[in-house]
Amino acid sequence: MIANNQLQNHLQEQNPPVPPQAVALEIDPVPLEVRKLRVANGSRRKRDLAAVRMAEELERRGRMRLAPATVADNARGAFVQVAIQCWRAVPESTFAIWLSPLRCAGADGSTLFLSAPDSIRTWVERRYLTLIREALQATGSDYTDVEFVSTGEGASCL
């Protein structure tokens, strides 16, 4: 198990994830709607999955705005409160491995955007999204939902 994780980390260091690019979607010979329909019908083709994920990421980026100072302060405060509640709710080692790499990436309306390296982000989305969302709603802030974006998407609010 440890060797497998080390191998995955090594491969990811050699081939870091490429951020989504709108140009790649524009020159794709298969329309995005067709790829989305294939994925919705259960396709596991890597090209279909990658194109749909790239389109979703670009859509998230489009909705995420770089926050003005007051919104950034509110987002930062909400994020810090969420981090404290998560720290209290999970074992210290779990927090250190999976939740401490999370960063506040911005905010839009009632959505707080968090970022982390892709390998961590995927696991946290699957395992801890409910915990994070409940902690966010318990803070009493204006933010009621959480979405994840890839690392390196511009300025963070922390």
Instruction: Spell out the domains of the chain, with CATH numbers in brackets.
Output: 2-63 (no CATH), 69-150 (3.30.300.180)
SS3 (DSSP) at 146? strand
How does pLDDT run across 62-74, given as a tens digit for each residue? 665 554 556 677 7
CB atoms within 10 A of CB 70: 8
What integer pLDDT is reported at residue 5 of this predicted model? 60
Low-confidence ranges of the chain (pLDDT < 70): 1-27, 60-71, 152-158
CA–CA separation, 12 and 76 (whole Å): 29
Q: Are 57 and 150 in contact (CB under 8 A)?
A: yes
What integer pLDDT is reported at residue 155 of this predicted model? 44
pTM of the model: 0.55
